[in-house]
């Protein structure tokens, strides 16, 4: 889950009080998180403050990407066709499947014994 705040500025990005580079040391996470800003050309024009929680680095980068895209829509509604064409406004619906009773996991079954 990510809460995003955009403000006019010079491109400073803060995540949970830490700088963007220290929070996401992997390049692929940084690219994914900044995709809406680079697509619309607002990387150097807006400051971004994000509070993100839950999941791992990849999930947090995805949540941040979705949050930035939705915040950009509120900032400028004319960006909608651009963001929608790239699929940035669609939430990833996949969730962890619950564990069922009588089983060791969500899908795993106990080993079958014939005798």
93 secondary structure, DSSP code: -
Any idea which fold 2-85 has? Answer: Ribosomal Protein S5; domain 2 (3.30.230)
Three-class secondary structure assignment of 4-39: EEEEECCCCEEECCEEHHHHCCCHHHHHHHHHHHHH
**Structural domain spans, the chain:** 2-85
Sequence-ordered list of residues with C-beta below 8 angstroms from that of 8, at least 6 positions apart, any chain = 45, 46, 47
Give me the chain's average pLDDT, please. 92
43 secondary structure, DSSP code: T
pLDDT in tens, 26-62: 999 999 999 999 999 988 899 999 999 998 999 999 9
Tokens 């895209």: give the residue.
69
pTM of the model: 0.83
| Mean pLDDT, residues 8-33 taken together | 93
* Whole-angstrom distance, CA of residue 11 vs CA of residue 8: 8
pLDDT for residue 75 is more than 90: no
């Amino acid at each position: 889950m990510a809460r995003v705040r955009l403000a006019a500025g010079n491109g400073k990005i803060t995540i949970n009080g830490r700088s963007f580079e220290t929070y996401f040391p992997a390049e692929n996470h940084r690219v994914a998180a900044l995709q809406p800003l680079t697509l619309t050309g607002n990387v150097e024009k807006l400051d971004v403050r994000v509070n993100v929680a839950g999941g791992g680095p990849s999930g947090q980068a995805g949540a941040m990407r979705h949050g930035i895209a939705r915040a950009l829509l509120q900032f400028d509604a004319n960006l909608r066709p651009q963001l929608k064409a790239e699929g940035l406004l669609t939430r990833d619906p996949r969730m962890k499947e619950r564990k069922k009773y009588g089983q060791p996991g969500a899908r795993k079954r106990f080993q079958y014994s014939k005798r």
